[in-house]
Structure 1
Amino acid sequence: MFRILFASLLAVSAGSALAGAKCEKHPKEEWMKEADAKAKLEAEGYKIKKFKVDGQCYEIYGHNKEGKKVEIYFDTKTLAIVKAEIEK
């Protein structure tokens, strides 16, 4: 029984270590429209391969203007970067 409980706790803590960003919650009507967000990010030099909503964040996978791979979470209202993983 202890082994099952321990394995469950490990699985939960591993899952939270891989969790996405924690963006501020805004009412949906305050979110920047997805098309506008994509256009603004592309104008800043991002090449977007995938754009999605992840909880309260916009998330992109692609490349920055330097050509490095990125995974970035943005605030849905302001497009401020909340969390970024950039290839070194």
Structure 2
Amino acid sequence: MANTASAQKANRKIAARTAVNKARRSRMRTFIRKVEEAIAKGDRKVALEALQAAQPEIARAAQKGIVHANLASRKVSRLNHRIKALPA
């Protein structure tokens, strides 16, 4: 338990930031899941559209520090690679 007013305020700020970060991470994962579901169905066109929507969300998560920049880049790259492997 925080003993000082400044420590109590810090705890409140941390809780608020954590809530925002969880929401952003969840949003990013939702967009990624939509791409993966389209890939699983084998629908290349829908998968490409979903990836186009997911890329800015993944980049935004990296920019805000929710995920590491390399992780974001790797996610996009791997999704793109899986889409390209689908039959046209």
Same fold (TM over 0.5): no
Kindly indicate which of the two structures has a greater share of residues assigned to strand.
Answer: 1
Aligning the two structures, in what range does the TM-score lie when normalised by the shorter sequence?
A: 0.3 to 0.5
Q: Larger C-alpha radius of gyration, 1 or 2?
A: 2
Larger RCO of the pair (alpha carbons < 8 Å, separation 6+): 2
Kindly indicate which of the two structures has a greater share of residues assigned to helix.
Answer: 2
